[in-house]
Amino acid sequence: MNATELNRSPGMGAILQDQGVSFRVWAPNAESVSVVGNFNNWDGGANRMEAEANGYWYGYADNAKAGDEYRFQITNHDKVLLRIVPYAREEAAQKYRRRGKCAPFQASLATS
């Protein structure tokens, strides 16, 4: 199932589905966006996202699940940037605190 075939869920960042995870990010100047994470060996070609209206990008990873780490790989001209979802930082910090660890903030976490 790809993002076009999937009933697009509202929300931003990681959106947990019955199977897999949908992702949405706002990247209005991007030429392309992919979601990379431990579920696809951080491969920028594995889960490319599709452009939506107003600078939003949407994608789906059937092998992603709650707790997986991810980033958005955003390409704009000759720049390739890996971005953490800003609003997911606090969720990640809370999860690490519950484990008694300090959050590394190297990736966002797909959480429910």
pLDDT tens-digit profile of 90-107? Answer: 555 555 556 555 445 456
Residue 7 placed within a domain: no
Residue 89 placed within a domain: yes
Residue 58 placed within a domain: yes
Quick one: which of 107, 112, 110 has its CA closest to 71? 107
Residue 93 placed within a domain: yes
Residue 63 placed within a domain: yes
Residue 6 placed within a domain: no
> How far apart are the C-alpha atoms of 14 and 85, rounded to whole Å?
9
Quick one: which of 15, 14, 27, 26 has its CA closest to 69? 14
User: Phi and psi for 92 in degrees, rounded to 5?
Assistant: -65, -45
Residue 30 placed within a domain: yes
Burial of 25 (0-12, 13-18, 19+ CB in 10 A): buried
Residue 8 placed within a domain: no
pLDDT tens sequence across 37-71: 999 999 999 999 999 999 999 999 999 998 888 99
Please tell me the total count of domains within the chain.
1
Range of the domain at 59: 13-109
